[in-house]
Structure 1
Amino acid sequence: MTRLAQGMVMVLLGAAALSVTVTSQAYLNYVREEFRPFLVAAGVALVLLGAVTTALELRAAPEDGQDGPPHGHSHGHDHARAPAVAWLLLAPVVVIFVVAPPALGAYTAAAADPAAVVESAPEDDGLDAEVLGDGPVEMTLREFVVRAWTDEERTLAGHDIRLTGFAVPDPEGRGWYLARLQIACCAADAIVNRVLIENQPEPPEDSWWTVTGRWVEPEGDIRKVSDHRFEVVEMVAVDHPPDPYE
């Protein structure tokens, strides 16, 4: 690939980074929100470097047309040119604009291992006061499963809880999962938080729902439960959120 082509690729890559961070929120499908400034800075740097490289090569083009070997070379060939097939290297860049990969969903959640049981519930999460209050308690799936696994007092029992996530088939046929993926940095490190729902028909895979119901209190040691069950009394279909991860 010539330096001119390299400059064009850098411009396109930078433009792709800016298009998913400045003009849309598509970057949330791949990384956490706090990475946006770094992606914007990288996109700007790539566009500027690519533009400078392209401009310098275009400016030098008339000089290459003079008689004699280009750039002082006498090898008998021109390093400024490359086979036409090298332009196929631009194909992945074009794909970024045409087919943006979606956020991880049911396929990943079904294949991934569930989040590991943590040693203790988060301190000062403010849920105790809410759980003891009136009306359904809005919780993330992570908050729910952490408390279900670690709260020896079982304060979730008997209280209405509201959760939001996407539908995932249960390969064992017991019902279906309401799941949400949790990331620490980017989609590559995603783990799944999920609850098993058995008392409602399985909705379409990857469809998003807000469900209200109650934790099915397990017998025995809560830390040995592989999947906590959730009994749904109300389901409402919701739009795919801008940020699909917890």
Structure 2
Amino acid sequence: MRRYGPAVLLLLVGGALLRISLLSAVYMRYVQAGLRPYLVASGVLLVLLALVGLFRTARASALPANGGAHVHQHGHTPSAAGPRLAWLLTLPALALLLFPPPALGSYSAAREDAQDAARGVGTFPTLPAGDPVELSVAAFTSRAVYDSGHSLRDRTVRLTGFVTRGEGDTWYVTRLLVSCCAADATTSKVEVRGVQAPRTDTWVTVTGTWRPKGALGSSAAWPPLLNGATVKHVAQPPDPYEKR
């Protein structure tokens, strides 16, 4: 049975990739949506390689005993006993196939407590007419911290993210931003005041108005404030990350 190990491992990994990218949207917990075709192609290729390996191994096993021994003596049959520890590689593949981990949440966000202010202060495009205006958490934080035109003033905004907690009763609506995959995720968060904090990691939509804080472009302006009016519990979106 051990001679089938490499092929089985390829089959598990390929199946896991197809499970998260072709049969569901779980892959968006790890990478951007644009990488889906590459994940699907990789999964298909691994499955095909596994099937070829299984076929060749089964064919070699069916050779006559003396013929098989002759081939073995010349080193042309696959080893029936690969390193036993290699089977441990099946555990991550099975975990991804059967129990895909959740998207990054409050623990990941808590590891980044400050935001780089290197972008500098400047003017931003005019917001769409009508209130409330739907903004990403990253867009709100950028305008609140860097917009010299104060485009958020006197506007009602709607933000969606997950709940993280600070000291005391402080809480934030938070999103993680990715450039390529979850490994490069950074945090955007807005402190919400005036409404009761939901449970940590709960996904919510918060409606409220910007409350100016600190000098533009300074660390005192981070994280920005929102005077909350309403908080609504929502389901986690299929793509939990915002894009840069």
In the superposition, the TM-score normalised over structure 1's length comes to 0.87
- Say how many residue pairs are matched: 239
Cα distance, 1:92 vs structure 2: 2.4
Change (3 A) 1:68 1:98: closer
Cα distance, 1:197 vs structure 2: 1.5
Q: Where in structure 2 are the equivalents of 1:118-129 lying within 5 Å?
A: 118-119=118-119, 127-129=125-127
More moved, 33-42 vs 220-229: 220-229
> Does structure 2 conserve the Cα–Cα contact (< 8 Å) formed by 1:117 and 1:146?
no
Instruction: Work out the CA distance in 2 between the residues paired with 1:112 and 1:184.
Output: 16
Change (3 A) 1:8 1:64: farther
Cα distance, 1:157 vs structure 2: 1.6
Cα distance, 1:5 vs structure 2: 1.1
Q: Render the CA deviation track for 1:161-214: whole Å, top value 9, x for unaligned.
A: 1111100011x2251011000000000000000011232222111101111101
Instruction: Work out the CA distance in 2 between the residues paired with 1:226 and 1:85.
Output: 49
Change (3 A) 1:20 1:99: same
Which secondary structure does the structure 2 equivalent of 1:56 belong to?
helix
More moved, 63-72 vs 18-27: 63-72
Alignment partner of 1:156 is 2:152 = yes
Q: Render the CA deviation track for 1:77-119: whole Å, top value 9, x for unaligned.
A: x932347665444222222222211100111111224442252
Residue aligning to 2:92: 92
Please tell me the residue identity of whatever aligns with 1:214: T
Alignment partner of 1:218 is 2:209 = no
Q: Which of the residues 131, 143, 161 maps onto 1:135?
A: 131
Instruction: Work out the CA distance in 1 between the residues paired with 2:70 and 2:94.
Output: 32
> Does structure 1 conserve the Cα–Cα contact (< 8 Å) formed by 2:15 and 2:97?
no
Change (3 A) 1:93 1:193: same
Residue aligning to 1:199: 194
Give 5+ residue unaligned stretches, structure 2. none
Residue aligning to 1:239: 235
Which secondary structure does the structure 1 equivalent of 2:213 belong to?
coil
Instruction: Work out the CA distance in 1 between the residues paired with 2:136 and 2:229.
Output: 18
Instruction: Work out the CA distance in 2 between the residues paired with 1:89 and 1:155.
Output: 52
Alignment partner of 1:62 is 2:75 = no
Instruction: Work out the CA distance in 1 between the residues paired with 2:51 and 2:121.
Output: 51
What percent of counterpart residues are identical?
34
Give 5+ residue unaligned stretches, structure 1. none
> Does structure 2 conserve the Cα–Cα contact (< 8 Å) formed by 1:18 and 1:40?
yes
Cα distance, 1:135 vs structure 2: 1.7
**Aligned-pair Cα RMSD in Å:** 2.5
Instruction: Work out the CA distance in 2 between the residues paired with 1:64 and 1:30.
Output: 48
